[in-house]
Amino acid sequence: PLSWFTACHRFGPSFSESAELIAGESPDLLFISSFAWAYADLSLQLAEAAVRIRPELPVIIGGHGPSSLPEYFLKAVHPVYPGRPLFSLVVSGEIEGFGELLRPGKADNRFLDLRKLNPKCDIKPMAGESILRAGRRSISITLTRGCPLKCRFCSNHICHGRDFRSSPPGMWVDEVIRINEKYGGTPKIFHLNIEDDNILFMKNDFFCFLDAVRKHYPEVSFSAENGLDYMMLEEQDIIRLKQSGFTRLNLSLAVLSEDSRNKEHRDGDPEKLEKLIHHCHEADLPVTTHFICGLDGDNREDIVKTLRFLDRLPCQTGISNFYPVPGLEGFEDAELFLNRSPSLALGSSVYPWTGALSSAQMITAFRLARWSNFRKKLLEPKEKPFPGSTGADSDTEEELFRKITGSRRLHTILKAGKKGSNRTVVPLSHLDEDMVEGFFR
């Protein structure tokens, strides 16, 4: 229950299998969307696998990764023809509305920079099948682009700009129906995840969308896993989200202290958040509240205060270790990233980008959050159980709970033997003991 990440799993076919599938379609051109800077090397591996089978295949890459640091992709070398670049064209920014610029001769020097241009067309909602959630087919959908807020830690604007734009709400349900039919359409029960973290800018349209989808698919469930801005929610909205089919709320706290909120240009009201979480609890709607650890100016005391604040509330604690992408405020120097692996921009890498907290301190905060969630899983208050309170899964978990509560030190379960059949409770090491002591104080 308190374990750190032990492996990285990439979903989907291998790069070689993907390359075979691509070649089987005999394409004239291959487009790759690089989802995030952290996955830049994976995008390169896919492109390399494809051109090893089809060496003459032109490859165009775009998305958040190339929008953050196009130089990294421009310098990639073709694996079959070392004198050639891997990518025929690298695109930064949104390509929607600028498709004509992809024609031969329209882009100069293999680089098309659209980050400063105003969009030329209405955007469209985009949906795709995702991983199974609770055994249900899952679809994720994006309805909007851009964000006018200026949170220092957020990189949304690097690719999509500061202007908030929405696809026509009348197209939203049609896109859900289209993608459901594309991937079979038979299951009437599925899960829909809304990717937009600013969808509450259009709260009325959002609720109408939920009602319309539920009319087509009465058993559908919903989530917004990137987190909803609690500052835009009211108590009556909680009931409506529950009635619409939300099975869990992900709320974005980001930072707790007022000084940190001001530094990060982030609005917030902890008292309002606390009331909303209690309202969700009364409505039997589980909540995970997310905050960021390792921001510039963070300190151990504030992180422990945040953990203790969430620990006393009927919610799960979600902790995200801060990582920058090229171009973020304070990280504009490309050399910071050209000489480091993109994988260091994964939260699980716990790389101390700002120097405010060490890797050990961020891991300590993560394990304390896991302990808080585990403790609530075992608690069963007389008045009303915490969401997700299921009791211990084994005698070893009961022992783990007793050891931690008795010693006020963090322990974990060490698995050994065939399929981890031998399970032993052991103390955790390499932690920041001052943080642990402060949390249990």
Whether residue 359 is found in the same domain as residue 402: no
Whether residue 277 is found in the same domain as residue 418: no
Q: Is residue 227 part of a domain?
A: yes
3-state SS of the chain? Answer: CCCCCCCCCCCCCCHHHHHHHHHHCCCCCEEEEECCHHHHHHHHHHHHHHHHHCCCCCEEEEEHHHHHCHHHHHCCECCCCCCCECCCEEEECCCCCCHHHHCCCCCCCCEEECCCCCCCCCCCCEEEEEEEECCEEEEEEECEECCCCCCCCCCHHHHHCCCCEECCHHHHHHHHHHHHHHCCCCCCCEEEEECCCCHHHHHHHHHHHHHHHHHHCCCCEEECCCCECHHHCCHHHHHHHHHHCECCEEEEEECCCHHHHHHCCCCCCHHHHHHHHHHHHHCCCCEEEEEEECCCCCCHHHHHHHHHHHHCCCCEEEEEECCCCCCCCCCCCCHHHHCCCHHHHCHHHCCCCCCCCCHHHHHHHHHHHHHHHHHHHHCCCCCCCCCCCCCCCCHHHHHHHHHHHHHCCCEEEEEECHHHCEEEEEECCCCCHHHHHHHHC
Last-in-domain residue among 59, 86, 113: 113
Whether residue 145 is found in the same domain as residue 273: yes
Q: Is residue 161 part of a domain?
A: yes
Whether residue 352 is found in the same domain as residue 430: no
Q: Is residue 71 part of a domain?
A: yes
Q: Is residue 4 part of a domain?
A: no
Last-in-domain residue among 89, 113, 137: 113
Q: Is residue 121 part of a domain?
A: no
Residue count of the chain, please give it.
441
Whether residue 229 is found in the same domain as residue 302: yes
Whether residue 196 is found in the same domain as residue 290: yes
Whether residue 302 is found in the same domain as residue 363: yes
What is the predicted pLDDT for the residue at 205?
97
Specify whether the backbone of 319 is left (phi greater than 0), alpha (psi in -120 to 50) or beta.
beta
Alpha-carbon span 367 to 426, nearest angstrom:
14
* Domain coverage including residue 81: 15-113
Beta-bridge partner residues of 32: 61
CATH code, domain with 175: 3.20.20.70
Last-in-domain residue among 44, 78, 113: 113
Q: Which residue, among 376, 363, 374, has the nearest Cα to 396 in the 3D structure?
A: 374
Whether residue 184 is found in the same domain as residue 227: yes
What is the predicted pLDDT for the residue at 81?
96
pLDDT in tens, the chain (441 residues): 898 887 777 888 999 999 999 999 999 999 999 989 999 999 999 999 999 999 999 999 999 999 999 999 999 999 999 999 999 999 999 888 777 777 655 556 789 998 877 665 678 999 988 877 666 788 999 999 999 999 999 999 898 888 899 999 999 999 999 988 887 665 566 899 999 989 999 999 999 999 999 999 998 999 999 999 999 999 999 999 999 999 999 999 999 999 999 999 999 999 999 999 999 999 999 999 999 999 999 999 999 999 999 999 999 999 999 999 999 999 999 999 998 999 999 999 999 999 999 999 999 999 999 999 999 988 755 445 555 555 567 889 999 999 999 999 999 999 887 666 788 999 999 999 999 999 999
Q: Is residue 235 part of a domain?
A: yes
What is the predicted pLDDT for the residue at 182?
83
By the 8 A CB rule, do 312 and 322 touch? no
Q: Is residue 319 part of a domain?
A: yes
Which residue, chain included where needed, has tokens 């995008």?
A: 43
Whether residue 370 is found in the same domain as residue 407: no
Give residues with Cβ within 8 angstroms of 411, minimum separation 6. 2, 400, 403, 404, 425, 426, 427, 428
Alpha-carbon span 256 to 21, nearest angstrom:
47
Looking only at the bridges linking them, the beta strands covering 144-145 and 136-142 are unpaired
Whether residue 238 is found in the same domain as residue 146: yes
Alpha-carbon span 369 to 358, nearest angstrom:
17
Whether residue 194 is found in the same domain as residue 255: yes
Q: Is residue 119 part of a domain?
A: no
Quote the tokens at residue 95. Answer: 């390509």
What is the predicted pLDDT for the residue at 108?
60
What is the predicted pLDDT for the residue at 134?
66
Whether residue 369 is found in the same domain as residue 403: no
Fill in the amino acid letter for 426: V
Q: Which residue, among 212, 90, 189, 92, has the nearest Cα to 143 in the 3D structure?
A: 212
Domain count, the chain: 3
